[in-house]
Structure 1
Amino acid sequence: MNILVIDDDPAVRKFICTTLKREGHQVIEAGDGVTGIRMLNENKAITLMITDLIMPEKEGIETIMEVRKSHPDLKIIAISGGGKVGPENYLVLADALGADATLKKPFSVQELLLSLKLLD
């Protein structure tokens, strides 16, 4: 699977990318939604996007809304550790706006891989 990972936290991004590569996936990474959308538009082979929800530049909610318009068949996993209102509120909103799955940070390797398996 060709996967785009968008997260502004380099440690989280590395954890996700390393896990996915170990499982044989092709991974492209971005530190914000603006860069992520550009990479998505440049690489038509991407079939899944994993995006954080709270980021500078373009937050994950905005990213999901924009991507749903231009790439309606793309699978999306939204991830969040929350903010002032708590991760559940952001994840519920992401789900309502078109995320196919959500994961609350911190999540385990097993939880990440199960989400991928359910969307495959």
Structure 2
Amino acid sequence: MTNILIVDDDADFSEALQDSLSMLLSHYQFITCGKSSQVFDLIYSLPASLVITDMIMPDVEGIEIITRLKQEMPDIPIIAMSGGGRVGGVTILSWRMR
């Protein structure tokens, strides 16, 4: 079975995303990671075909996860998302990678 890893510190959102996606993608297995500092332990222990990560988290920011994944595992597709928040005293309302 193909794995999709969801990285988000908001457990309720992760569960809602997993529930929604699993209705559309029933042949995928979803793994959630609530502590972004543990994402690399998970990614190395299981094969993931896709990583969906929040951009703003308290322990490791999504951009750090993306940068490291692109260096170490450049073929894994990544979807970055954010509901907004505060980073370094700056309020971020929305962000989109082009």
Q: TM-score range by the shorter chain?
A: 0.7 to 0.9
Q: Which segments of structure 1 move beyond 3 Å, counting only runs of 4 or more? A: none
SS in 1 for 2:5: strand
| Structure with more relative contact order (C-alpha pairs < 8 Å, separation 6 or more) | 2
One-letter amino acid matched to 1:57: D
Asked if the contact 1:29–1:36 (Cα under 8 Å) also holds between the matched residues in 2, the reply is no
Q: 2:50 matched to 1:48?
A: yes
In terms of fraction of residues, the more strand-rich structure is 2
Q: How does 1:70-109 map to 2 (within 5 A)?
A: 70-83=72-85, 84-88=91-95, 91-92=96-97, 95=98
User: What per-residue deviation string (whole Å, max 9, x for no partner) do you get for residues 22-79 of structure 1?
Assistant: 23121111013211221011112x1100000000111101111111111100010001
The aligned counterpart of 1:20 is: 21
In terms of fraction of residues, the more helix-rich structure is 1
State the distance in 2 between where 1:18 and 1:85 align. 27
Q: Which moved more, 1:17-26 or 1:65-74?
A: 17-26
TM-score normalised by L of structure 1? 0.69
Identity of counterpart residues, as a percentage?
34
Unpaired runs of 5+ residues, structure 1, are 96-120
Unpaired runs of 5+ residues, structure 2, are 86-90
State the distance in 2 between where 1:57 and 1:75 align. 22
Aligned length: 90
RMSD (Å) for aligned C-alpha atoms: 1.4
